[in-house]
Chains A and B, each alone.
Chain A
Amino acid sequence: MNTKMKTLSLALFGLAGFAFAGSAMAQCPASLSPPWSATNIGGGTSAASSVTGGYSSTACRLQSSLGNSGAARAQVRDDTPANETRYRAQFIFDPVSLSGAGGTNQADIFLANAPAAFNGLLRLVKIQYAGSGAGTKRVIFTVACNNGGTNTCSLPQDLPVQAGPNRIEFDLTVGAGGTFRYWVTPLATVTSDGSPTNSITVTGGNAGWVGVDQAYLGLASPSAAYRTVNTGLNGFFDQFDSRRQTFIGN
């Protein structure tokens, strides 16, 4: 079985053919699709593009900013997953330009969706960027769980690097005994499969959602508080990788 589904770092493209005279800057791809299945940009002056400044071994990164609309989104979409009952994904998220002010300052940064809604909910995994109320930047992991109430189980996690890149990874299993573990670490930190940052109890399991069928990466669905302080500001993403079985790590 091919255990690796997708590696989508925004690599350096076309230096020889497209470098502008007098420019020493890296040439990033003009289009995000391919390698991504599609872009999903809308709502006000939202924008997503590949820009220089990639992390570690990559030259380019995804830059995402949202307009002043609750329906704003500046995402890339991966259609590679096919009802995956085991789904591991990792990406780099850098909120350096974003404000962490306000406890209701929130926007989605990653979504893993089921093929169809169950109990009215489509999202198997949602990761949001958020403020803490005290100015600390954090992410909120929300996973679908058949708990007989909200159908969601969630946990906030402060970002270890407030003004630079963080490595975010999770490991989701789908079924009656569904599980969810995650790692949130500085870019250079060595991680291991057996030592996640934390885990979320998937109360009631998550079998009804079948599996991960589509993923979105990038900013979306800003709260009113997010739009107040972060409209037009950039979040950065890089080195997306998703797999069925093996730990991605660093």
Chain B
Amino acid sequence: MNKVTSSLTALAFALAAPAAFAQTCAAPGGPINAAGPLAATCTAVDEFNSICGGSVTAVGTSAVYQVNVGTPNNFTIAVTPTVATYDHAIFLIGPGSCLQTTPCVADADDAGPGATETISSGVNIPVGTYYLVIDSTASAAGCVPSNIVVTGTVPVSLQGFSVE
């Protein structure tokens, strides 16, 4: 019998190797979880002219990381740019899609240049695949490498189940 049970990600899941080149919706980095921190690189792609259902303008280039959320869940994601002058904004969008029209679960853009932005998922958001989008509402100059730290409970969804 093979069974994958939900558990605290911090205890159960090894950090996936970050993709070296691609952090787009089609090929997101991660998945990220609470076993980090994860050193995020950055693409020069601008996939999000707008975000949060098309309601928020995003002017910077973006980097996208996958977040697999199971149940129960309650987590925070903190992202710190490695360049002190870069003012990024972070968005958790989903579940199940990675488009400008996808709704935001949480977002943060109030810390200012070089500072850590932190988002909280809330308690027990629906199970599914979410995407962390690192972008900017302040500058189109391009995103920079960042450090991502996830804390709390982000158990991965059940991947497979069989009885023999």
Contact of A70 with B89 in the complex, beta carbons under 8 Å: yes
Residues on B with C-beta less than 8 A from A223 are 138
A92 to B162, CA, bound (A): 60
- The interface on chain B, measured as residues whose beta carbon lies within 8 A of the other chain's beta carbons, has a size of 25
A122 to B101, CA, bound (A): 8
Residues on A with C-beta less than 8 A from B53 are 40, 77, 214
Residues on A with C-beta less than 8 A from B57 are 108, 126, 220-221
A68 to B89, CA, bound (A): 13
A216 to B57, CA, bound (A): 13
User: Does A113 lie at the interface of the complex (its beta carbon under 8 Å from any beta carbon of B)?
Assistant: yes
A121 to B57, CA, bound (A): 10
User: Does A123 lie at the interface of the complex (its beta carbon under 8 Å from any beta carbon of B)?
Assistant: yes
Residues on A with C-beta less than 8 A from B104 are 42, 71
User: Does B65 lie at the interface of the complex (its beta carbon under 8 Å from any beta carbon of A)?
Assistant: no
Residues on B with C-beta less than 8 A from A68 are 110
Residues on A with C-beta less than 8 A from B91 are 71
Residues on A with C-beta less than 8 A from B108 are 69, 71
Chain A 214-236 residues near chain B, CB threshold 8 A: 214, 216, 220-221, 223-224
Residues on B with C-beta less than 8 A from A72 are 109
Contact of B89 with A122 in the complex, beta carbons under 8 Å: no
Q: Which of B42-50, B74-82, B152-160 contacts A (4 or more CB under 8 A)?
A: B42-50
Q: Assess A121 versus B49: contact at CB under 8 Å? Given A42-B104, A71-B107, A116-B101.
A: yes
The residue of chain B having its C-beta at the shortest distance from the C-beta of A108 within the complex is B57
Contact of A220 with B47 in the complex, beta carbons under 8 Å: no
User: Does B37 lie at the interface of the complex (its beta carbon under 8 Å from any beta carbon of A)?
Assistant: no
Q: Assess A42 versus B52: contact at CB under 8 Å? Given A69-B110, A71-B108.
A: yes
A-contact 0/1 string along B20-62, CB 8 Å cutoff: 0000000000000000000000000011011111111100000
User: Does A208 lie at the interface of the complex (its beta carbon under 8 Å from any beta carbon of B)?
Assistant: no
Contact of B110 with A43 in the complex, beta carbons under 8 Å: yes
A117 to B100, CA, bound (A): 7
B45 to chain A, nearest CB (A): 9
Contact of A43 with B109 in the complex, beta carbons under 8 Å: yes
User: Does B99 lie at the interface of the complex (its beta carbon under 8 Å from any beta carbon of A)?
Assistant: yes
Q: Assess A40 versus B99: contact at CB under 8 Å? Given A69-B110, A71-B91.
A: no
Residues on A with C-beta less than 8 A from B6 are none
Contact of A122 with B49 in the complex, beta carbons under 8 Å: yes
Residues on A with C-beta less than 8 A from B56 are 43, 71, 73, 220-221
Residues on A with C-beta less than 8 A from B100 are 117, 122
Chain B 123-143 residues near chain A, CB threshold 8 A: 136-138
Contact of B109 with A120 in the complex, beta carbons under 8 Å: no
B-contact 0/1 string along A3-23, CB 8 Å cutoff: 000000000000000000000
Instruction: Name the residue in A42, A69, A70, A221 with the highest tally of chain B Cβ atoms < 10 Å from its Cβ.
Output: A70
Contact of A71 with B109 in the complex, beta carbons under 8 Å: yes
B42 to chain A, nearest CB (A): 17
The residue of chain B having its C-beta at the shortest distance from the C-beta of A114 within the complex is B54
Residues on B with C-beta less than 8 A from A216 are 54-55
The residue of chain A having its C-beta at the shortest distance from the C-beta of B47 within the complex is A120
User: Does A47 lie at the interface of the complex (its beta carbon under 8 Å from any beta carbon of B)?
Assistant: no
A214 to B99, CA, bound (A): 15
B106 to chain A, nearest CB (A): 9
Interface residues of A (CB under 8 A from B): 40, 42-44, 67-73, 75, 77, 108, 111, 113, 115-117, 120-123, 126, 214, 216, 220-221, 223-224
Report, nearest first, the 6 A-B pairs whose CB atoms are least far apart. Answer: A70-B137, A70-B109, A221-B57, A69-B110, A71-B109, A113-B54
26 A–B pairs (Cβ distance < 8 Å), ordered by A: A40-B55, A43-B107, A67-B110, A70-B87, A70-B89, A70-B109, A70-B137, A70-B138, A71-B52, A71-B56, A71-B104, A71-B109, A71-B137, A77-B53, A111-B54, A117-B101, A120-B47, A122-B49, A122-B50, A122-B54, A122-B100, A123-B50, A123-B54, A214-B54, A221-B137, A224-B138
